[in-house]
A and B are shown apart, each in its own frame.
Chain A
C-alpha cells in the first residue's frame, strides 16, 4: 500500500497516521515550512525543523505543541521513519523524507536549488516517490544567478539615491525579506516593516546569522529612509502606508517579474526576477536527482509540467492541493497581525 495518499485535509501517511502540510485541523501536522499556505492554525501537534518553530510561534501562537528536528536526523512515528532535508526555499524549509519497510517517499514542499546565502542549501534525496511543486513549471522561467540580480538591485538603489527617491523593495516577509537583507546588507541601512522585523527577531534568537536592520516607525524621517533601502511585504505595497512615503520607487522581487505582463500588472517601478522557487531547469534537475519512479506534481503549472515529465519518461501524476496562494495567504496573516 502507498505511503502517502492525497485527502481533502492534505497529504496523509496512513502507516504513520500523520499529515504533511494539512489545510484542515489534524492531530499531527508535519510541516515543510512556515508560509501560510503550508501551515495552518488549529492542529493538535506540529513537527518541523528547529528554525521553523520561531515562525510558527510568531504567526500561529506561542502556546503550540511543537516538536522540532534538525536536518538529517531520523524520528520514528508509528514505525515510519521521518527525517527532514533542506529544501533551500526559506529559512528552516524542509523536504520531508518518509521511509517504511524500504519504501521511500519525499515531499518537497516548496524548494529552490540555487543557494541563496541564508537558507540551508537544497539537498537532493533519492526516493521512490517524489512530490514536487511546479510554481514555475514552464520553460520561460529560467533565473539568472542571484549575484547578477542583486547587482541589478544595487544599481537600481543607487540610481534612486541620485534621483532622491526612496527605494522600496516588495518581498514576502518570510524568506525573500531575509534573503534580501543578507545579500544587500553593508552598503546602506536597511529599514524593514514590523511584520519582517518580528520574524527577524525570532530568527536571531534562534541563532540565525542575520545582519542588523531597522524597524520602521512613524518617527523615521523620509530623508533618513531615502538614504537606505526599505523592505515591505506585498500586501502593503499598494496601500496607504506606501502613499505616506513620498517619492518612493517600488521594486517587486518575485519570479513572476520574469514576464513583462506581470511587471506591468503589478505597476511597480521595477521588477526583479528573484524567486525562492526552482526555475524550469531547477525543477528538472531536482526531480532527476531523486531517481524517483513516480512524481506527483502539485501547485503551479500542474498539468503542463506533469505532461512534460511523462513525455520525457518520468511517470507523473497531477495532484490538486491548496498550496500556492502564498500572496493571498500572507495578506491574511498581515491583516491579523495588524
Chain B
C-alpha cells in the first residue's frame, strides 16, 4: 500500500508525461508482483463491486471525527473530493499496517454480503491504521474511482518500456478479458490470454493544416481531394480470422462498435484499412455530437444502437494479402482499396470515402463551402504519388478545414490560471442571453494575448461581485466572440446544449453586453446540425 501511495503522489506531482511514465516504470519494476495486475485493472477502469455505500462511509467519518455534519459539508466543499475530505478530517492513526495493496482490495471485496456492523468495524479499524495519504487511497479503493490522469495509452507505454515489449501488444493484452486475481503481471505482458501476433496496427499518417492558398500546391491533377470527416480516426485489422479496431489514440476499441464486426467474415485475412469511425444513418454521416453517445462506453443499449449507428468510411489500404502497402503510391493503394471494398456485403456500413472530383482550385473552394451540409470539417488533400508516412510529414497530405462557428457571449465568471498564469484571472466562463437571464454556454482559457489577460485580470479584480473559493462572479460587461467546432445536446448543462472545443476568437470591445447572442440562436444552430 505504501508503495502504491507513493506512486499516486508521484503521478499527481507532475503534469509532464515523461515524469509520469518514469514513475510508472519504476513502480512496475519494484512493486509487489501480486499488486501489479490490480493496479493495471484499476487504471484501465476495471471496477470491483462497491462494498460500502458513500452515505455510510460519510456517516462513519463524521461520527469518528466528531465534527458537525454542516462543518463536514463545508470542508468537503473546500476540498472538492470526498475521499480526501474524509482522509483529512479523521483523527490521526494510532497504529500502522503493512498490508499490501492486493490484500486491502481482497479484504474490501470480501465485505460484500456482510452486515453494516461488520463493515463499519472493518473500515474504522482500517482508517485507524493508515496515514492521511494512505487513507485517501484506501477510500478511493472503496469507491473504485481513480482519476489521476493516467490514460490507457500512457499506462501501456510505461509497461511496454518496463518490460521491453511492443506497446500495441501490451494494449491488446490489457484490453482483453482477464481478472486481476487470476493473472500474473508476467502473463499479462506476454499476452497469455490473447494472441498478440495478429493485432498490431500501423502508425497513422497525419495531415498538416493548410495555411497558404491551395493554388500554392501546384497542379490540381496531382492531388486527390476527400471530405475531412469529423469522427474518430481508426484502423481495422483482419489477420488469421481475428478482427481488431484501433483508434487513433492507439486504443483497442473493437468491442465498442459491434456494427463493424461483420468485417471479420467479409475482409480477407491480411487486410488493414485506414478510415474514420462515424455515426452513419441511411448512408449519411451524422454530427459528431451523435457519435459521442457511442464513445467510451462499457456497454451499449438498444436505443444507442438505434440512434447512433456506426459506420466506417475507408480512406486507405495499408496491408493487402498480408503485404505492407505503405511503400506504394496513394493512387495504387486507392485502386486496391476500391477492389477490397467492392467485395463487402454491407456497403452502407463500411463505405469507401468518396473522392471529390474537381478541375481547378476555385471549383474545390466552392465545393468546400458545402462541407457542413454533409457534417464534414472541410477537405483533405493527398498527393496522388505520395507514400503512406508514419506520423506527420509536411508536403504530401494537407487538411483544409472550414472556419469554425462563432457566438458572441459575455463573461460572467473568472478563475485564476495555473503555472505561469497563477497570479492572473485567466479561466473564464461565458454566457448568452435567455430572456432576462444569462445562461452559461462555455468555459475557455486560451486565445488572449498577455496584454489582454492583464486587462481582463484588472477588470475582474475591480468588478468581482461574489467569491466562491477561487471563482469570482463578475459584472456581465465584457463581450467575447467564442469560436467552436460543433454543438450538441447536453442534459448536464443548464443551457441544454454544449459547445465543442470552445475558445476565445477575439475580445469584442466594440460590443455591449446587450448585443450578445441568445440561447435561441444556439438552439437553432443545434437543430440545423441534427
Q: Which residues does A use to contact B, with CB under 8 Å?
A: 138-142, 235, 238-239, 258-261, 263-271, 301, 304, 307-308, 311, 328, 331
Contact partner of A260 among B12, B419, B420, B470, CB < 8 A?
Answer: B12
Q: Flag if B88 contacts A331 (CB, 8 Å).
A: no
Q: Flag if A308 contacts B423 (CB, 8 Å).
A: no
Q: In the complex, what's the smallest C-beta–C-beta distance from A274 to chain B, in angstroms?
A: 15
Q: With A138-B74, A259-B78 in contact, is A266–B422 under 8 Å at CB?
A: yes
Q: Flag if B423 contacts A235 (CB, 8 Å).
A: yes
Residues of A within 8 A of B416 (CB): 265
Q: In the complex, what's the smallest C-beta–C-beta distance from B149 to chain A, in angstroms?
A: 9
Q: With A140-B78, A238-B423, A267-B419 in contact, is A260–B89 under 8 Å at CB?
A: no
Residues of B within 8 A of A140 (CB): 75, 78-79, 85, 88-89
Q: Flag if B88 contacts A142 (CB, 8 Å).
A: yes
Q: Which of B64-72, B331-339, B445-453 contacts A (4 or more CB under 8 A)?
A: B64-72
Residues of A within 8 A of B92 (CB): 142
Chain B, 300-338, CB within 8 A of any chain A CB:
none
Contact partner of A267 among B71, B85, B422, B423, CB < 8 A?
Answer: B422
Q: With A140-B79, A140-B88 in contact, is A308–B71 under 8 Å at CB?
A: yes
Residues of A within 8 A of B136 (CB): 260
- Docked Cα-Cα span, A269 to B15, in Å, equals 9
Residues of A within 8 A of B68 (CB): 308, 311
Residues of A within 8 A of B423 (CB): 235, 238, 328, 331
Residues of B within 8 A of A271 (CB): 13
Residues of B within 8 A of A260 (CB): 12, 79, 81, 84, 136
- Docked Cα-Cα span, A142 to B65, in Å, equals 12
Give the 7 A-B CB pairs with smallest separation, nearest first: A140-B88, A267-B419, A140-B75, A139-B89, A267-B418, A139-B67, A304-B74
Q: Which residue of chain A lies nearest to B89 when distances are taken between CB atoms in the complex?
A: A139
Residues of A within 8 A of B15 (CB): 264, 267
How many residues does chain B have at the interface if contact means C-beta atoms less than 8 Å apart? 30
**Cβ-based interface call for B490 (8 A):** no
1/0 contact string of B7-18 vs chain A (CB within 8 Å)? 000001111000
Query: Can you spell out 5 A-B residue pairs with CB atoms less than 8 angstroms apart?
Result: A139-B72, A142-B92, A261-B80, A264-B15, A267-B422
- Docked Cα-Cα span, A30 to B353, in Å, equals 79
Name the residue in A260, A264, A308, A331 with the highest tally of chain B Cβ atoms < 10 Å from its Cβ: A260
- Docked Cα-Cα span, A265 to B89, in Å, equals 21
Q: Flag if B419 contacts A238 (CB, 8 Å).
A: yes
1/0 contact string of B88-100 vs chain A (CB within 8 Å)? 1100100000000
Residues of B within 8 A of A258 (CB): 88
Name the residue in A140, A142, A308 with the highest tally of chain B Cβ atoms < 10 Å from its Cβ: A140
Contact partner of B12 among A235, A264, A307, CB < 8 A?
Answer: A264
- Docked Cα-Cα span, A308 to B74, in Å, equals 11
- Docked Cα-Cα span, A307 to B74, in Å, equals 12
Q: With A139-B67, A259-B84 in contact, is A269–B13 under 8 Å at CB?
A: yes
Q: Flag if A139 contacts B71 (CB, 8 Å).
A: yes
- Docked Cα-Cα span, A331 to B81, in Å, equals 30
Q: Flag if B418 contacts A261 (CB, 8 Å).
A: no
Residues of B within 8 A of A331 (CB): 423
Residues of A within 8 A of B13 (CB): 263, 268-271
Residues of B within 8 A of A264 (CB): 12, 15, 418
Q: Which residue of chain B lies nearest to A273 when distances are taken between CB atoms in the complex?
A: B132
Q: Flag if A138 contacts B75 (CB, 8 Å).
A: yes
Q: In the complex, what's the smallest C-beta–C-beta distance from A193 to chain B, in angstroms?
A: 17
Residues of A within 8 A of B421 (CB): 238
Q: Flag if B71 contacts A304 (CB, 8 Å).
A: yes
Name the residue in A258, A259, A331 with the highest tally of chain B Cβ atoms < 10 Å from its Cβ: A259
Q: In the complex, what's the smallest C-beta–C-beta distance from B203 to chain A, in angstroms?
A: 31
- Docked Cα-Cα span, A155 to B88, in Å, equals 23
Q: With A138-B74, A269-B14 in contact, is A261–B419 under 8 Å at CB?
A: no
- Docked Cα-Cα span, A98 to B371, in Å, equals 77
- Docked Cα-Cα span, A239 to B423, in Å, equals 11
